[in-house]
Amino acid sequence: MAQDKKKPGWLKPLAFGVLLAVLGHLLTIGLIPSAIMNIAMKRIAEASGGINRLAHGNMVTPQNQQIVRSSPDLAYSTCALDLTKGPVRVFIGKGADYTSAAFYAGNTDNVFTLNDRKIGPEGAHIMIVSARSPIAAKPGEEVVSLPSDKGLLLVRRLAPTAEAFKRVQAERAQDFCRIVTDGM
Amino acid sequence: MWRWLICGVLGLGIGVGSALSISGGLFSDANITSGRWSTDPTVGAAAANPWVRATIARVGFLALTKEETVYFNRDVDDDGAKFIEGCTYALSGEAIPTRWWSITIYGADQMLPVNTDGASSIDATRALVAPATTWTGTLSATRPATPGPWLSSKGGGTYSLTIRLYNPQSVEKSALQALKLPSIKKISCTQTPATGGAN
């Protein structure tokens, strides 16, 4: 009887394995969104020369595609957002055709989307703040609050042909995304 | 000691593997179908739980909300057979109650198949020129002899299609199910279909 007690069994190692399975599963599930977002933000920041800067993409082709499931019919502009030093101001000009500006939190949630039907002829002025940023919007500015300091802005403009893409390039020339420097 | 090591490694592998399988869409809730097209209503939404969020991050990254865009996908023809790069299919569609639509081809890695055909998508502005209310096109790995909309599957291996519906008139489940989305019928296959995979 005493010898049986000393004999190592499988029960505790199995329980340890189950514990690691649960922890590994939860940890992986929890890390996937932020890991994917971090990779995307890094690529976008590199393309635009830094964070809080808007980068206008070329016509999407199989040779230059940057992220999964991009559409060759859209002209993309991107801005990797970092609100740790304060709010970020965005301007999106009115387009002749479909335009949308989508804001994504660091966990990939799409927290807000504005499309051209809600953008006036003067364009859209948007202030992006984080949950811990002071609200510093000017009159007429739309305020978008991200639940995190990091995030992503993705602007889509309909451009299914080379002619349309050329038109869009002119439309978005005045668009910007930059950190607030005037204290407002 | 070796028992602990075996159980630990197996447990960790199962945990991480199951997380990757689930987030890869293995059990995705694509519960709205219209013909052979299906859509997951959670794509683009602020995720309700970590599993849905992880799945969206992997299979619907940077998607828009359904009010902005509904994404229907399919990887089979009208007879239910998987799309194959070596086969040629006939596309046909009609006007859809949405502001604009486009169909794009993606390889198994969710990227555009790498080719220089300039035919990774078909959109409403090119396929459905007024006053036409219907359109036909071709899905194949080689450029069709007849003019018209063409989706190139060259380099796609076993691929899938996504139709984006921008600003649809309704996002109610019944309205989405009632949509008459394009049909895709197999015409022919080469004897040795290419299975080069997606890039």
- pLDDT tens for each residue of B41-85: 777 777 668 888 888 788 778 889 888 999 999 999 999 999 999
Residue A31 lies inside a defined structural domain of this protein: no
Which tokens is A122 given? 């003067």
- Evaluate whether residue A21 is within a structural domain: no
Residue A148 is part of which domain span?
48-179
B 59-98 → A contacts, CB under 8 A: 60-65, 68
C-alpha atoms less than 13 angstroms from C-alpha of B72 in its C-beta half-sphere: 26
* Continuous segment of H or E residues that includes residue B5: helix B2-21
Phi, psi of A91 (to 5 degrees): -125, 130
Is residue B137 within 8 angstroms of chain A, CB to CB?
A: no
Among B19, B47, B121, select the one facing A28 at the smallest CB separation. B19
Burial class (CB in 10 A: 0-12, 13-18, 19+), B33: middle
User: Is A80 a domain residue?
Assistant: yes
Q: Which whole number is the average pLDDT over B90-98?
A: 95
Q: Does residue A53 lie in a domain region? A: yes
Q: List the structure tokens of A51.
A: 């964070």
- Test B3 with A102 for CB contact under 8 angstroms: no
Kindly state whether residue A140 falls inside one of the protein's structural domains: yes
List, for residues B131-166, the tens digit of each pLDDT value: 888 999 999 999 999 889 999 999 999 999 999 999
Give the domains, in start order, of chain B with CATH numbers.
2-189 (2.60.120.600)
Domain-located, residue A147: yes
Domain-embedded: residue A84: yes
CATH of the domain at A164: 2.60.40.1610
Q: How do the pLDDT tens digits run along chain A, 184 residues long?
A: 445 556 778 899 999 999 999 999 999 998 998 899 999 889 888 887 889 999 999 999 999 988 888 999 999 999 999 999 889 999 999 989 999 999 999 988 899 999 999 998 899 999 999 877 666 667 788 899 998 899 999 999 999 999 999 999 999 999 999 998 765 5
Domain count along chain A: 1
Distance between alpha carbon B53 and the CA centroid of its chain, in Å? 19
B140, B89 Cβ separation under 8 angstroms: yes
> What single letter denotes the amino acid at residue B79?
D
Q: Which of A14-18, B119-123, B127-131, B167-171 has the lowest mean pLDDT?
A: B127-131
B interface mutation test: which of A10, A25, A64 has the most B CBs within 10 A?
A: A25
